[in-house]
Structure 1
Amino acid sequence: MLKINVRGENIEVTSAIRDYVEKKISKLDKYLDSNANVTAHANLRTYPDKTTKVEVTIPLPYLVLRAEETSPDMYGSIDLVTDKLIRQIRKHKTKINRKSREKGYKHLDFTNENLDDADAEENKIEIVRTKNIAVKPMDSEEAVLQMEMLGHNFFIYEDADTNDINIVYRRRDGKYGLMDINEN
């Protein structure tokens, strides 16, 4: 059963908005395992320029579904986020079913109902290029400079101090993020 937690920032979540979010997101319940105890977190924001942002996150046992949409129409954003989540579920359902057949897993997170075989073919992942890279020791500032010089959105490097593999990336807000990859 899918539970829905609706939260608002700079907006009062009225019963009409809450009902609309719950109605739309509850459509996802038919794609999820009926035995799963899942909570969807919906975050609604309004900005001073009258745009709204809708973010929905659904943590599952081995996967986190997340979608966001920004537009002047909150209800339209809710519809678009729901569509994005359905596409993600279909894509991952196909991937999980393929892997489970290969490895012999019996438990799946998604049901087979309401998903077309055409979607499975459409969402097939095909790697069209493989690129080998040599990671060089450097600090994060140099890695950001290298990323900018190459015109990429991310850059992989070896941290000169820790010898860990790290990734710097450009965030949507134009700032930078750092992923520190720790080997277990």
Structure 2
Amino acid sequence: METSIVGVGVGISDRFRTVTEDKSARIGTLAPRAQRLDVKVTHRAYHNGAREEETVELTVTGKGPLVRAEATDADKFAALDLAVDKLAEQLRRAKDKRVDARNHPRGPKLDKGSGALAGIDVQPASADVLQAVATGVIPIVSSDDDEEYTPVVIRTKQFDAEWMTVEEAVDRMELVGHDFFLFIDARSDRPSVVYRRKGWDYGVISLTASAPPEALAS
């Protein structure tokens, strides 16, 4: 498996490269279809250097969906160990889920006659969520006492929309190690998000398009 290592704000030593190569062998054992491991190490300093931390992001690509994990620690070697452990756990969970699905078929079932989806918790999004999505505005509460610094850091990411079934979205969520996954439901064309509950139980929230209040008033 090919391994690529990059550093952002930090140099990559030969020792770190050697340790990472050793770790990649473990990943290759758990993911035999993996073809490439991308490792990104990011150094961050806070409060004028009073606190520093290293974030290690691992991304495995190959035949099938990518698998991603990340961890943060004051030491990049410790962060690497944590990220590898997370990645290994995600791969094991995905494998156990496939075995469990084969042995005990369950989960969402589509009624072809009515188009209803049974066996999964579906609930409508709240009015506040719909308004935030429609306007693209995320409310942020600020403090007048400390306008220059806030401990809250909001990271923004944008991805291309992907059409898939709920089952495929659950599998993708397990592989990337997140508690939720955004997608476009291929059956309804609705923006949706699946999320983890307990064990192998999952939920899905879908947005239903409706006319804005201004249009209804007119």
1:26 alignment counterpart:
25
Cα offsets for 1:126-174 (capped at 9, x unmatched): xx982421687757354756xx6xxxxxxxxxxxxxxxxxxxxxxx942
Unaligned runs of 5+ in 1: 104-127, 149-171
* Residues 53 and 37 of structure 1: CA distance in aligned 2, closer, same or farther (over 3 Å): closer
Tell me, what secondary structure is at the counterpart of 1:6?
strand
Q: Kindly, what percent of the aligned residue pairs are identical?
A: 18
Structure 1 position 60, deviation (Å): 3.5
> In the alignment, which of 45, 48, 60 is matched to residue 48 of structure 1?
45
Query: Any idea what the Cα deviations from partners look like across 1:106-136, whole Å, max 9, x if unmatched?
Result: xxxxxxxxxxxxxxxxxxxxxx982421687
Structure 2 match to 1:84: 86
- 2:124 equivalent in structure 1: 133
Q: Is the 8 A contact 2:34 2:61 kept in 1?
A: no
SS of corresponding position for 1:53: strand
The alpha carbon displacement at 1:22 in A equals 1.4
Instruction: Indicate the RMSD between aligned Cα atoms, in angstroms.
Output: 3.4
Higher gyration radius (CA)? 2
| AA in 1 matched with 2:54 | T
Q: Deviations over 1:19-77 (max 9, x none)?
A: 111112321111122xx351010001111342111000112333221111111111100
Structure 1: distance between partners of 2:61 and 2:26: 16
Residue 62 of structure 1 is matched in structure 2 by: 64
Alpha-carbon contact 2:34-2:63 (below 8 Å) kept: no
Separation in 2, partners of 1:141, 1:37: 39
Rate the CA distance shift 1:27–1:129 in 2: closer, same or farther, 3 A. Answer: same
Taking the aligned partners of 1:59 and 1:7, their CA distance within structure 2 comes to: 16
